[in-house]
Amino acid sequence: MSKNWMRERRQDFYYRNAKRLAYRSRASFKLMQIDDRFDIIREGMTVVDLGAAPGGWLQVAAERVGPKGKVVGVDLQPIEPLEGVRTIRGDVRREEVRQELMELTGGKVDLVLSDMSPNISGHYPLDHARSIELCEMALGFALRVLSPGGSMVVKMFEGNLGNEFLAQVRQYFTTVKRHSPKASRSSSSEVYVVAQGFHGDQGG
């Protein structure tokens, strides 16, 4: 980890604000900005966050759904406990993990979130392809658990496979948008796919 990288991180506006406001990650501001733009989180909702560690998105989701809502996070890594949030340590591709999720949510989910990134190899075409694989996994999970009218937000690395993935998503949602929140670093190739109005069939 270079000294320049550490210096830039300390000087980063969102990193400093996350520390000041006790958010676990600067990524918390990305979800806030996405929600402020698209109104995806409402009081009383049930939200599942895939790849949730260290918990920055969970904090924002819990604040915005309020005490009547449910927030569940899943990750291969442990997540320190958060008030009002349930967490599962496991792989969402495993059936037993999906079953535990269904039990915790009562089988009804209003919003699926995924800020997952692949392990960066430094070879961008490979990293992009792995990013799309994670997006497709999140979409497959969303198709299984979302209630009619539900929403999904997934992080995607831009690249030649992106349009194909967006076409997939449009089969199942009324509105699908690409969005880059201000909190994303200017050097980043990430973009968020915001899908709303789940109807669950290819006929629209």
Report pLDDT for 12.
65
Report pLDDT for 62.
95
Domain boundaries, the chain: 25-198
Report pLDDT for 51.
93
Catalytic residue among 3, 155, 177, 182: 155
Per-residue b/e over 54-72, b at no fewer than 16 CB within 10 Å? bbbbbbbbbebbeeebbbb
The predicted-structure confidence for 150-196, as pLDDT tens digits, reads as follows 999 999 999 999 999 999 999 999 999 999 998 766 666 899 999 99
182 catalytic, yes or no? no
Specify the 3-state DSSP secondary structure of 173. strand
Positive/negative CA dihedral, 91, 172, 38, 189? positive
Q: Which amino acid is at 151?
A: S
List, for the chain, all residue ranges whose pLDDT scores fall below the cut of 50.
Answer: 1-3, 5-11, 203-204
Neighbour tally for 131: CB within 10 Å: 26
Can you name the CATH fold of 25-198?
Answer: Rossmann fold (3.40.50)
Strands (E), the chain: 46-50, 70-75, 86-89, 109-114, 146-157, 173-179, 190-198
Q: What is the pTM of this model?
A: 0.88
Could you say which DSSP state residue 12 is in?
Answer: -
